[in-house]
Amino acid sequence: MINVTKAFLPDREEYIRYIHQIWDNVQLTNNGPLLQTLEEQLKAYLGVDQLYFCGNGTIVLQIALKALEIKKEVITTPFSYCATTNSILWENCTPVFVDIDPDTFNINPDLIEAAITPDTEAIMATHVYGNPCAVEEIEKIARQYSLRVIYDSAHGFGVTLNGRSLLSYGDLSTCSFHATKVFHTIEGGAIISNHPELHEKLQLLRAFGHRGDEEYKFAGINGKNSEFHAAMGLCNLPQVPAIIAARKEVFDVYDAILDWERLRKPYINPTIEYNYAYYPVVFESEATMRRVQAALLQNEIAPRRYFYPSLNTLPFMPRTYSCPVSEDIALRVLSLPLYVGLESKEIERISQIINKNL
């Protein structure tokens, strides 16, 4: 079976060398030495001042909302993974959906102002497929209405915009280091902050809200991660340029073969350094998407409906919103297999099956 993704595994001996260190240190978690080294290396790689390595890419979204004391309405995108919306709901805030741009599939900045109410406190937007949101427009609106901006940058690792890591934008930015992402630590995530005054708070929120045995500040959560996960990150981080280069090669083969008369891709900002995180294609209709999906599955190829469904249509949303662009794209999009080691002849075979069924 060729799946939409396959986790990257580093050299086994290198990982085992770190495991020996963990045995020698006898510190398995709680801000251990490998975790601290990984945080330093990530900060250097991303060019950011403050970054906290956490348990996953969902808890960091929750910590972000908590740190900024967001309690009411959060303007967000319907075209993302459900973790984005779920974190808003889990923090007892109200997601307010704003439809996406039909070209980039990111939240449409022109529609944000109309969704602002006296209860709006924040904008939580996703850089979909690693393609940057309209960060300048969003920042302008946020400044005008005193809103906070949180970017779900789960797809953004390795992307630079205007010469800066995409993860450095917003009041807070979060990333996922799940096994399926461009850079991974098995499970993991990070929160990146540009606000020096939030640093202590973020550190405390990640670890139960207390310092030592006596100083209990507020109700934190367990957002920590372990030395074993940090070790995987230390092995994988130096591989990121090679991982991105290998992903680009897959991209180039699909780009060359797929039938662009009948297929569409999101518009990717040409000024960025991209990470080639996903290969989504949009079909002419839902029926075509289903036909292609069935043909691929018959050949033991499993693309992913990513993203589907449009999050505003989830049955547990507190309010009803209409987001016609997002709902339409979600019905017609498939993300194609893309990972390090996917061979050209497989990519050609996948492309031919798709072209034949358009």
CB of 339 to ligand PLP, least distance (A): 15
Number of residues that bind ligand PLP (CB under 6 A): 14
CB contact at 8 A, 129 and 155? yes
**In Å, how far from its chain's centre is CA 335?**
15
> If binding is defined by CB under 6 A, does position 84 make contact with ligand PLP?
yes
Q: Is 154 in the site for ligand PLP (CB under 6 A)?
A: yes
105 is a site residue for ligand PLP (CB under 6 A):
no
**248 close to 276: Cβ distance less than 8 angstroms:** yes
- Using the rule CB under 6 A, which residue among 152, 171, 227, 327 binds ligand PLP? 152
Question: Is the Cβ of residue 79 or residue 283 nearer to ligand PLP in the bound state?
Answer: 79
Contacts to ligand PLP from residues 299-338, by CB under 6 A: none
Minimum Å distance from CB 84 to ligand PLP? 5
Question: Considering beta carbons, is residue 35 or 258 the nearer one to ligand PLP?
Answer: 35
Q: Least separation, in Å, of the C-beta of 348 and ligand PLP?
A: 28
Per CB under 6 A, 155 contacts ligand PLP: yes
Q: Binding segment for ligand PLP among 77-85, 97-105, 201-209, 225-233 (CB under 6 A)?
A: 77-85
Closest CB to ligand PLP among 58 and 226?
58
Establish whether 248 is a catalytic residue. Answer: no
The reply to whether 173 sits near ligand PLP by the rule CB under 6 A is: no
Site string for ligand PLP, 122-151 (x = CB under 6 A): ----x-------------------------
Q: Which is nearer to ligand PLP, 45 or 306 (CB)?
A: 306
Does 224 bind ligand PLP (CB under 6 A)? Our answer is: no
Nearer to ligand PLP, 185 or 351 (CB): 185
Asked if 85 touches ligand PLP (CB under 6 A), the answer is no
> Which residue is catalytic, options 181, 201, 224, 265?
181
Question: Of the ranges 78-86, 163-171, 246-254, 288-296, which one interacts with ligand PLP (CB under 6 A)?
Answer: 78-86
Q: Which of 66, 178, 206, 229 binds ligand PLP (CB under 6 A)?
A: 178
108 binds ligand PLP (CB under 6 A): no
Q: For residues 237 and 45, is the Cβ–Cβ distance under 8 A?
A: yes
C-alpha torsion angle, residues 178, 181, 182, 185 (rounded to 10): 10
Among all residues, which ones are annotated catalytic?
181
Q: Site residues (CB under 6 A) for ligand PLP?
A: 56-58, 80-81, 83-84, 126, 152, 154-155, 176, 178, 189
